[in-house]
Chain A
Amino acid sequence: MADLSVELCGVKLKNPVIAASGTFGFGREFDELYDIGVLGGVSTKGLTPRPRQGNPVPRIAEARGVILNAVGLQNPGVEHFIENDLAWLKGKGTAVIANVAGSTLEEYAGICARLDGLADIVELNISCPNVKRGGMAFGIRPESVREVTAAAKAALKSTPLMVKLSPNVESIAANAAAAEEGGADAVSLVNTFTGMAIDVERRRPVLANNTGGVSGAGIRPIAVRMVFEAAQAVHIPVVGMGGITCAEDAVEFLLAGAAAVQVGTANFTDPMACPKIIEGLGRWCDAHGVRKVSELTGALRLN
């Protein structure tokens, strides 16, 4: 049996499969279906300094092979998470990746300081497309990516920092490099692509928010290309995501340069997607003579 463990900025993951933020809550519901301790990590629902109610419904729409969401960062606030969910989640034996968002540099620094030493990794969400002040403004230009990363890093004394990058940018390579310059220990990508779905009968957008973030199987080739470009641009680990539904999809991201992967939308179409992908990865490695899954990272041979 292949060794599936990987190391991500000093944190050992039992395998490279992480449940992606926003699709998994804090893990409690999925833990009723399977022991979430089998996962490499769980990236929590995006946390903000104070509770947020999020957007009106409908918050979800579909198009061929993709979904659009505009939840708008509904969450109970970081204090509620620390008080009610953190200890339980840590007790499951999976890496706890606290996904955080703010609307000012001070808020980003404050929420990072609050989680320092508590979470295994802090994932900085500077790419939520669905709220006006959900950090997207910080995620567009390399200068502001560097600035918000540096502010977060200064607040984190012991917990590594992963910066989640938006794909809605001019150059993913430039933004990944900016995160590294700002002090990021890892980058994760891609967050969702901004999109719109229209109900032609009503001549209105399906989502109450009009636009939403596009994710799911249909975006995978674009995400793989962006992960490849980011991995070429930085020396820190890259965590890849975007439309992964099976083990082969995960291998694609690893070959493109990812040290680990996140699985999001597939949790909706198949609630057992993550454990199936982990099992499938083991089988794939065994069938291909791969002894350690980490050997696959960046093992792509270009034509």
Chain B
Amino acid sequence: MKDYRAVVQANREIAEGIFELTLSLPEEVKVRAGQFAEISAGGAHLLRRPFAVCKAEGKEITVCFQRRGEGTRLLASTGAGERLNVLLPLGNGFYLREEEKKIALVGGGVGIFPMISVLREYAEKKEISAYIGFRSASAVCGLEELNRASRLVAVTDDGSYGEKMNAVQAFEGDLRRGLRPDVALACGPLPMLRALKGVLEREKIPGFVSLEERMGCGIGACLVCVCNLTNGEHARVCRDGPVFAVGDVEL
């Protein structure tokens, strides 16, 4: 990991309140699927914000985020040519083993963006089915990237795009049709991850989830962003995660 002074190449709203920020770094950085970056939005007066790196190509990286609070409002208003401090790559990321051939991706809301990073790294090597849930048609984005999957099922909570269901229900639909993955990878709101954990445990399918937590340093020093492991210990989401085996972590 290293702290870089990055230049904003582009910043555009790709769906209602969802932004795609492309940054140019002074050198090429190897970023694994599911790893994240800590981006400075307010200098010394605001904590950095952690975002999954969707794409890392050459010296360019792309992150996507939802405009929600002060930090993301500031980031949403940055324009091409502006400079931001970016610390990366952070966290463990997703890692697929050789024998895992059929992969299910389950993503909801802004949790779809780490799934895009998995598709970019593994779409050519694996048979990937992606189950993606949006709030409504106005939130739909990233389809071009998501279409790298061998099979894409995009649904919405209100049925305004695709079927009216959530990503976990879409995944269960395919399970009933006999489409069973070797492993499932997921990112999304906690209720979604909890529902998915239930399905994976019932079906005895291994799974890995990427967690979100409010962070301080982002590198594992401050112990702010811990989660509870099933063995009773605490783990640091930023350093030991953000990706955990679904059976190892309490959701």
Question: Which A residues form the contact surface with B (CB < 8 A)?
Answer: 22-25, 28-30, 32-33, 45, 53-54, 57-62, 64-65, 67, 69, 71, 74, 216-218, 245-246, 266-272
Question: Which A residues are CB-close (under 8 A) to B222?
Answer: 22-25, 69, 71, 268
Q: Is B225 an interface residue (CB 8 A)?
A: yes
Given contacts A57-B226, A74-B223, 11 further A-B contacts (CB under 8 A): A22-B222, A23-B216, A54-B226, A58-B214, A61-B214, A69-B222, A71-B223, A268-B217, A268-B222, A270-B3, A271-B219
Residue interface bits B1-23, CB-to-A below 8 A is 1, else 0: 11100000000000000000000
Measured in the bound complex, the distance between the Cα atoms of B48 and A271 in whole Å is: 10
- Contact check: which of A24, A45, A61, A271 meets B87 at CB < 8 Å? A271
- Contact check: which of A53, A69, A245 meets B216 at CB < 8 Å? A69
A81 CB, nearest partner CB in chain B, Å: 14
Query: Quick check: A64 and B45 within 8 Å, CB to CB?
Result: yes
Question: Which A residues are CB-close (under 8 A) to B3?
Answer: 33, 270-272
Contact A30/B216 with A67-B47, A269-B43 known, Cβ cut-off 8 Å? no
Contact A59/B85 with A65-B45, A269-B44 known, Cβ cut-off 8 Å? no
Query: Quick check: B224 and A69 within 8 Å, CB to CB?
Result: yes
Question: Which B residues are CB-close (under 8 A) to A272?
Answer: 3
A61: nearest residue on chain B (CB-CB)? B214
Contact A67/B1 with A60-B224, A267-B221 known, Cβ cut-off 8 Å? no
Query: Quick check: B1 and A33 within 8 Å, CB to CB?
Result: yes
Query: Quick check: A60 and B214 within 8 Å, CB to CB?
Result: yes
Query: Quick check: B234 and A74 within 8 Å, CB to CB?
Result: yes
Top 7 closest pairs, chain A to chain B, by CB: A25-B221, A245-B44, A29-B219, A29-B221, A60-B224, A29-B220, A59-B224
Question: Which A residues are CB-close (under 8 A) to B45?
Answer: 64-65, 216-218, 269
Q: Is B227 an interface residue (CB 8 A)?
A: yes
Query: Quick check: A270 and B223 within 8 Å, CB to CB?
Result: no
Measured in the bound complex, the distance between the Cα atoms of B2 and A22 in whole Å is: 21
A59: nearest residue on chain B (CB-CB)? B224
Q: Is B40 an interface residue (CB 8 A)?
A: yes
Query: Quick check: B216 and A57 within 8 Å, CB to CB?
Result: no
Question: Which B residues form the contact surface with A (CB < 8 A)?
Answer: 1-3, 40, 42-48, 70, 85, 87, 213-227, 234, 239
15 A-B interface contacts by CB (under 8 A): A23-B221, A25-B223, A33-B1, A33-B2, A62-B46, A64-B45, A69-B222, A217-B45, A245-B44, A268-B47, A268-B217, A269-B47, A270-B3, A271-B3, A271-B87
Question: Which B residues are CB-close (under 8 A) to A28?
Answer: 221
Query: Quick check: A59 and B226 within 8 Å, CB to CB?
Result: yes
- Contact check: which of A33, A54, A269 meets B46 at CB < 8 Å? A269
Measured in the bound complex, the distance between the Cα atoms of B217 and A266 in whole Å is: 9
A54 CB, nearest partner CB in chain B, Å: 7
A71 CB, nearest partner CB in chain B, Å: 5
Question: Which B residues are CB-close (under 8 A) to A267?
Answer: 217, 221
Measured in the bound complex, the distance between the Cα atoms of B234 and A116 in whole Å is: 30
Query: Quick check: A25 and B220 within 8 Å, CB to CB?
Result: yes
Measured in the bound complex, the distance between the Cα atoms of B2 and A269 in whole Å is: 14
Question: Which B residues are CB-close (under 8 A) to A45?
Answer: 223
A264: nearest residue on chain B (CB-CB)? B222
A62: nearest residue on chain B (CB-CB)? B47
Contact A60/B223 with A33-B3, A54-B234, A271-B87 known, Cβ cut-off 8 Å? no
B220: nearest residue on chain A (CB-CB)? A29
Question: Which A residues are CB-close (under 8 A) to B214?
Answer: 57-61
B38: nearest residue on chain A (CB-CB)? A271
Measured in the bound complex, the distance between the Cα atoms of B218 and A29 in whole Å is: 10
Question: Which A residues are CB-close (under 8 A) to B42?
Answer: 269
Question: Which A residues are CB-close (under 8 A) to B2?
Answer: 33
B44: nearest residue on chain A (CB-CB)? A245
